[in-house]
């Protein structure tokens, strides 16, 4: 029997100095999920460039902007949580480009599995070479997926949707975490209230700018270390991070 969808999905996009990317991000959402989201909120996280001006152009498409003057990704996420009114809060990054079917996968997951607390999936990189993406795919299948099966949770910060009531029970986002490890922290705490599902087909195209700026080896090692430290020590060990814009 077909189940009726009555889920209100809020889409939240943290943005710090994202004038180069935010327009393409919003264009992809409007093109591939038109009139789907209950609301679309861009959190201007202390930007000093033209981010807010660009976002203002999209007001006619149900996009609104809110400000969070305390710079930091987790502070921006928390502001989004406070402002949003949907039943499910979906988060993407400002340098992502949503594909057709992403919204539908969220609805399908939460309609047919009431135990899901959070849904996430992998990145693919639209500005990287085919070889680069093959290496990344190997990482997801050979390292990330087995880790998910063993530990029971995994989350990618620019590609996840979480139930509002779960986030409320968690007490929101941990704003003491500057950057690295915040995604695993969300997954670990959300897993207390339901299934944190990592779906390999729930993909999000994004920029590989951090890997280009820090090298694939360095950034990859930091992400792995952060996942392990947050999983087993319940705290991130890497405090400093570099803004790459």
Q: pLDDT tens digits for 130-158?
A: 999 999 999 999 999 999 999 999 999 99
User: Which helix H or strand E contains 77, and what residues bound it?
Assistant: helix 73-83
Q: Is residue 140 part of a domain?
A: yes
pLDDT confidence of residue 2 = 44
Q: Is residue 241 part of a domain?
A: no
Which pLDDT band holds residue 220 (cuts at 50, 70, 90)? confident
Expressed as residue numbers, the domain containing 138 is 9-232
Q: What angle do CA 108, 193, 169 make, to 5 degrees?
A: 110
What burial class does residue 94 get, using C-beta atoms within 10 Å of its C-beta: 0-12 exposed, 13-18 middle, 19+ buried? buried
Q: Is residue 156 part of a domain?
A: yes
Q: Is residue 243 part of a domain?
A: no
Q: What is the mean pLDDT of the chain?
A: 95
Would the pLDDT of 100 be above 70? yes
**Nearest-10 Cα torsion for 83, 86, 89, 92:** -70
Which pLDDT band holds residue 1 (cuts at 50, 70, 90)? very low
Q: How many domains would you assign to the chain? A: 1
Share of the chain above pLDDT 70, in %: 98
pTM equals 0.95
Per-residue CA distances from 64 to 57, 92, 101 (Å): 10, 15, 23
Q: What is the CATH number of the domain that holds 158?
A: 3.90.550.10
């Amino acid at each position: 029997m077909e189940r009726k969808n009555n889920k209100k999905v809020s889409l939240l996009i943290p943005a710090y100095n994202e004038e180069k990317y935010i327009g393409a991000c919003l264009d992809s959402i409007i093109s591939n999920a038109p009139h789907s989201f209950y609301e679309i909120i861009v959190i201007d996280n202390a930007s000093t460039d033209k981010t807010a001006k660009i976002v203002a152009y999209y007001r006619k498409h149900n996009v609104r902007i809110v400000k969070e003057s305390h710079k930091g990704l987790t502070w921006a996420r928390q502001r989004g949580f406070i402002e949003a009114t949907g039943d499910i809060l979906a988060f993407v990054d400002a340098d992502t480009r949503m594909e057709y079917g992403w919204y539908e996968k969220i609805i399908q997951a939460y309609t047919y599995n009431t135990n899901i607390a959070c849904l996430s999936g992998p990145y693919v990189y639209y500005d990287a070479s085919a070889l680069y993406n093959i290496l990344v795919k190997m990482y997801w299948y050979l390292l990330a997926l087995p880790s998910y099966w063993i530990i029971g949770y995994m989350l990618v910060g620019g590609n996840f949707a979480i139930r509002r009531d779960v986030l409320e029970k968690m007490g929101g986002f941990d704003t003491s975490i500057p950057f690295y490890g915040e995604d695993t922290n969300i997954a670990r705490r959300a897993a207390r209230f339901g299934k944190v599902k990592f779906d390999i087909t729930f993909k999000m195209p994004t920029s590989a700018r951090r890997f280009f700026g820090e090298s694939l080896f360095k950034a990859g090692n930091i992400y792995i270390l952060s996942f392990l430290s947050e999983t087993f020590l319940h705290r991130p060990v890497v405090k400093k991070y570099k803004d790459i814009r």
